[in-house]
Structures are given as structure tokens and as C-alpha cells.
Amino acid sequence: MHLLRGAAAIVGAADTEVGVVPDKNPTQLCAQAIHGALADAGLSLADVDGLITANSMAEPYMYHAEMMAEYLQIFPRHTLSLGAGGGASFAALHQAASAIVTGMATTVVVAMADCLRTGLSRDQAMAMQSASGHPQFERPYGPTVPAFYGLVARAYMNTYGTGPEHFAAVAVNARDHASRHEGAQMREPIAVEDVLNSRMIADPLRLLDCSLVSDGGSAVVLTSAELARDLKQKPVYLLGAGEGHSYEHISASDNLVSSGAADAGRRAYEMAGMGPGDIDVAGIYDCFTPVVLIELEDLGFCGKGEGGDFVAEGNLGLGGSLPTNTHGGLLSHSHSGNPGSMFALSECVFQLRQQAGNRQVADAQTALVHAQGGILSSHCTVILGTEVS
């Protein structure tokens, strides 16, 4: 059995309010999430000896984890600030479990927060969207992040004959889930026609194909499986983790319709001793609708080119074969930058604890969360479970 499999568990999780949060800055939201997750676990700041964060775009610091430790007045023996975009959340879990197993720390908090909605001016937001490309080979031509994903979407459509209605089905599913989540930013139900009639952002992507812009933060607490048994919440064990890194800039990609999710998923499945058919609920990074189809395929939930039909047939809904993003995802719950995928993680924790209320997936015992950073660049998959067999 792999050294990391089942050796660490999530024992606390908490989200802040999301959407438009003008009365809190990113540091305050991060602290709120940390306090909430510790309270959920029945622990205090004094119990924390490891802290992993990702930097804020609205309020960046050179050493973000150390800054948060200073702000909270804790003095952990292990800190780490990660920079892998949306994938940083789950890479942080991988790092936290490794720190626990190797004795670098016993109780690690992973926390992220940002204020992309109220903390950046329009000019700052546009500058950020335009600065992600390669400085020599991409940026001079003016593409924004949506334009890069529009390139991916068009390649996917041309390769598999997928229509925009298949992308739209992803957004409709996300909104259906969000309508059941009282904290989601966008809860009004939408139909495929609403997505197809929303304004064009980056051909072929329309407004409702694109993730939200939000404020918000989330945190989880991990400790050893041994210590987890005596704490307040039912442990959610980390059974598998894997990463896949194909490139930094999309101009270096040799395939726009496959991604490092295939490597990340394979490594996570191997560690967990599981396969796609063993997963009860999922959190799949959905910054833009086509990304979900590519990731579902690369993670083995359906064949290449079959993602559009897989979603359109209702498989991601509560009654489907793979309930996915039951909080609403980045498309409807919130997207506050680096912390965005943390909400999928906390949602899966609540699902495995049977605490998701009217969003609850019946008898959920295993979950897969996957996120990526950049333009399908840096991937991490984590598999969670309620038991270690």
C-alpha cells in the first residue's frame, strides 16, 4: 500500500461568504475560513503546526503563508505558499499529507482567499487577464484568458463534432446544483437556450460558459489518521493524489483536447487502488464549460469525445452516475481565483460526512476532486473516502 494512502484525513472544513464581499479583504477572509475550519474540527490555533496557502491577486504578499501565520499569531514549524493557479488547492493537500507522514507537521491547515470581485479595478482585472500568456510568443498578440480557452473550445468542437449545446449543458448542470446551495453566488435556474443566447465573450464561448468573478475563501484542516479518530468530525481520508504537468504556456501544447488530467488521475487512482467506477461524487474544475468535458474524459469517466453526451444525458446531476460540483462549481457557486477549487473540496467533505442537506448524494462514500491551473497546464487529482480498506 502506498505510504500516503489513508495516512492523513481532513477533519475540518469551512467556507466564507462568497460573491460580492466588500467589507472584508483577502487576509480577513482567509483568517475567517481558518477559524471556521478549526472550529469545525474542534481544534484551536494552538493545535496548528503547518500552514499552506496560495497568494492573493488583490492583496499579494511576498511570503503569503508566513504573512497569514503572522496575522494569526501562530508559529508553525512548516509553512508553504503555492503557485499553481486553481490546481494549487489540491496540490496543497498532496503536500500537507506528505508533511504529516514525514513528521514535518501533525496538524496542517490549507487555506486560500481572494477578492477578485471587489479588490481589483476593471483595469487591474483586464491587465491580469491579459498577462497570462508567454511574454514573447503569446502576449504581444493580445489574447486574454477567455481567448485561450476559446481556442481550446474550438479545437474540441473541430476534433469531435461537439456543439455549443453540449458546453451549455455543463453550465445548466452547475446552476441546477447551485440553486440548492443557499450560499452560492448565482442560484436562478438557467436552460441551454439561456447559455446559447448569452453574449459572446471569446468565440465560441459565451458569458454563461465562463466562470464567475467573486470574493471568498475556504479552508480545511488535515491531521494524521490516528489523531483524526478522536476529533469532532467523521474523518475524510486522503486515499490518493496525483499531479500532471504538461506545459506552462499553451503555445507549447501538442494537443489541445487532452490534458495533464490523464496523468494526475492515473497516479491518484493507482495510489488509491481505485478506478473511475468507484467514485460516488466529484468536484471537477469548471473555469470554462469545455474544460469539464476534457477533464471528465481524461479522468476516465467517459471516452474521448464522449464528454458532451455524458453531460447532456444528465450524468452530473444528483440522480446521475457521477454527481459533480454539487455546490455549483466555478460557473455558479463562485470563482475567487486560486481559492476557487477549495469550495469543491469542502463540498465533497460535506458530502462524505452526509452534511450536504438537499444537495446530498445518497450514501456517498468516495469523492474525486480535480483542479488545474493556467490554461489546462498544471493538474492535480485527489481521491477521498470515508474508510481505509
Residue-range domain boundaries for the chain: 8-119+212-385
Which whole number is the average pLDDT over 32-55? 97
Q: Is the pLDDT of residue 3 over 80?
A: yes
Q: Residue 302 is which amino acid?
A: C
What are the angstrom distances between the C-alpha of 259 and each of 106, 193, 256?
34, 29, 7
Q: What gap in Å lies between CA 48 and CA 343, rounded to an integer? A: 21
pLDDT band at 286 (very low <50, low <70, confident <90, very high): very high
DSSP 389: -
pTM > 0.85: yes or no: yes
Structure-model confidence comparison of residues 67 and 135, the more confident one = 67
* Per-residue model confidence (pLDDT) at position 23: 96
**Mean pLDDT of all residues in the chain?**
95
Give residue-wise pLDDT tens across range 119-163.
987 778 777 777 778 889 888 888 889 999 999 999 999 999 999
Q: Is the pLDDT of residue 241 over 80?
A: yes
8-119+212-385, CATH topology level: Peroxisomal Thiolase; Chain A, domain 1 (3.40.47)
Q: What gap in Å lies between CA 158 and CA 112, rounded to an integer? A: 37
* Per-residue model confidence (pLDDT) at position 260: 94
Which whole number is the average pLDDT over 260-277? 97
Give residue-wise pLDDT tens across range 290-337.
999 999 999 999 999 999 999 999 999 999 999 999 999 999 999 999
Q: Is the pLDDT of residue 360 over 80?
A: yes
188 in Cβ contact with 175 (< 8 Å):
yes
Percentage of the chain surpassing pLDDT 90? 87
* Per-residue model confidence (pLDDT) at position 366: 98
| Least confident among 63-77, 132-146, 160-174, 374-388 | 132-146
* Per-residue model confidence (pLDDT) at position 267: 97
pLDDT band at 39 (very low <50, low <70, confident <90, very high): very high
Q: What gap in Å lies between CA 302 and CA 324, rounded to an integer? A: 14
pLDDT band at 101 (very low <50, low <70, confident <90, very high): very high
Q: Is the pLDDT of residue 20 over 90?
A: yes
Give residue-wise pLDDT tens across range 200-234.
999 999 999 999 999 999 999 999 999 999 999 99
275: left (phi over 0), alpha (psi -120 to 50) or beta: beta
* Per-residue model confidence (pLDDT) at position 122: 79
pLDDT band at 87 (very low <50, low <70, confident <90, very high): confident
End-to-end Cα distance, the chain: 10
Give residue-wise pLDDT tens across range 330-359.
999 999 998 999 999 999 999 999 999 999
